[in-house]
Chains A and B, each alone.
Chain A
Amino acid sequence: MQFKHQHAAHCESGVMSSMCTNHGLVLSEAMVFGLSNALSFVYLPFVKIGGMPLVAYRSMPKSIIKGLQKNIGMKMKVEKFSNPEQGGKRLDELLAQGKIVGAQTSVFWLPYFPEEMRFHFNAHNLMIVDKTNDTYTISDPVFEHLVESDSKSLLKARFVKGVMAPKGALYYPTFVPESIDYQKVLPKCIKKTAKTMLKTPVPIAGLKGMHTLARHIRRLEKKDEHSNKLFLGNIIRMQEEIGTGGAGFRFIYASFLQESGELINNQDLIKASQMMTATGDAWREFALLIAKSIRSKNKKAIDYQAIAEKLESVADLEKKVYTFLLQAF
């Protein structure tokens, strides 16, 4: 078997990078991320996950798979199933045809995930590359090496019900272009991301979303400290823990901008990459500030104003990058 496992920061961009590369179109994870307009910021105070409001530094699950198809003209086939039996049989058929098969799964039921990383998240992407007896060989991009699962556990992970239920979803490319017209595609994608971040009118997305979150952090002062600490900790979990490559995907995007600048020979993109790295650094300072204040050993009152101000300063830094990017072409 020719398949080469790649270690990636994020499951969905990792899977798509691996699939394209294994089908002859070499695309880094950062390129996939940038070309699918995945960079974002969303704060949904009214959507609760495990009691915590949704905070995301990237676009919706599945949008990388969809966005990449749209922007580079590749085609994917997605199959869903009404019952696990069919879904298991179809997977084996596809593997017998020699396909590398993408699958949507729930993290909680995958046996190779250590206890510490198991949460109920139903949109985790991985690739199944082989089956021997009852054991599947899996290329899970967020793990360093190939991993394994027995068929029963994998089936369970593919057929959980609930929010973003995978319904056994399997996917594989049916058409992968030989090359990409970067001169045309890159400016379009980069401008779109910059515009979305700067100009989304609703106060829950883009820079406005960051300012809304900062305002809500200021208001925490009057509330109970235990739940405030969970609220703040959740922001940082989404930024650092959930497969982001560091600093809520800002470093991946900086890597994308650098690669883009080299590909189409645009010095402004190289400069924008450095600016984006600086925002990544600022996001990490924000994370550190929160981690220090929620530590159980910390007996001092939490300085909500300072945390909110830091977030606003990060938003201002990001604003400069996107404004600069809009003028880069």
Chain B
Amino acid sequence: MMEINDVPQDAISTYAENKKAVYATDKNGQYAVVSSSGWDVEEEVTKQALTELQRQADLAYQAVVSGSKSPLYYHMYAQRMDVTVLAQSMGMFKWRVKRHLQPDTFKSLSAGMFARYSDALGLDVEQLKKLPELKY
């Protein structure tokens, strides 16, 4: 039985000091809504997902530095997207987004296209055109 006293209160980092509502029973077996500061198990799997996103962004950063991809490739992963999600956010076919991930094609994009990417990714056009200084 998940009793109120057994509800995990592990103050997990992925809640960033927030609490979530969970369902648990009191001594008489009566259900109630309880605030929880999180369960270690949840932290483990959320962190796994966040680490994977970071890993993809790091790999993308290297690919841009080496000149094999355009800065768009890094920004896409840094904003927790992939080609599928970015293409959907742009209302475009994936093959077009993939072309824009190539450095030469990217450089020759129109101002209008840059504005659309800037909107989809929530970044200024100037930010979009280059890599940020590495913060890690």
Contact = CB atoms under 8 A, between A and B. Distances in A.
B49 A277 contact: no
A79 B88 CA distance: 22
Contacts of B120: 161
B41 A236 contact: yes
B35 A118 contact: no
A115 B16 CA distance: 8
B42 to A, nearest CB: 4
Interface in A79-124: 108-109, 114-120
B21 A258 contact: no
Contacts of B84: 48
Given A50-B82, A237-B49, A295-B44, A9 B23 contact: yes
A185 interface: no
Interface in A183-226: none
Contacts of A288: 41
A114 B49 CA distance: 15
Given A161-B90, A233-B49, A254-B23, A120 B85 contact: yes
B114 interface: no
Contacts of A240: 39, 41-42, 45
B30 A245 contact: no
Interface in A132-180: 142-144, 156, 160-163
A284 interface: yes
B68 interface: no
Contacts of A294: 44-45, 48
A161 B89 contact: yes
B23 A255 contact: yes
Interface in B76-131: 79-82, 84-85, 88-91, 120, 122
Given A120-B80, A254-B31, A245 B45 contact: no
B117 to A, nearest CB: 13
Given A237-B45, A288-B41, A294-B44, A252 B23 contact: yes
B1 A281 contact: yes
B75 to A, nearest CB: 14
Contacts of B2: 246-247, 251, 277, 280-281, 284
A39 interface: no
B25 A142 contact: no
Contacts of B33: 7-9, 29, 245
Interface string B27-68: 001110101000111101110111010000000000000000
A120 B45 contact: no
A243 B48 CA distance: 18
B89 A277 contact: no
B11 interface: no
Nearest to B52: A230
A287 interface: yes
A25 interface: no
A144 B14 contact: no
Nearest to B32: A255
Given A108-B79, A161-B90, A240-B39, 13 more contacts: A9-B20, A116-B14, A117-B16, A117-B18, A144-B18, A144-B21, A229-B48, A237-B45, A237-B46, A255-B31, A277-B2, A278-B1, A280-B2
24 contacts: A8-B21, A9-B33, A50-B82, A108-B80, A114-B18, A116-B13, A117-B16, A119-B80, A144-B18, A144-B19, A144-B21, A161-B91, A162-B85, A162-B88, A230-B48, A236-B44, A237-B42, A237-B45, A241-B46, A245-B22, A246-B22, A255-B31, A273-B31, A291-B41
Sorted from nearest, which 8 A-B pairs have the closest CB atoms? A162-B88, A114-B16, A255-B31, A251-B23, A291-B41, A233-B48, A116-B14, A246-B22
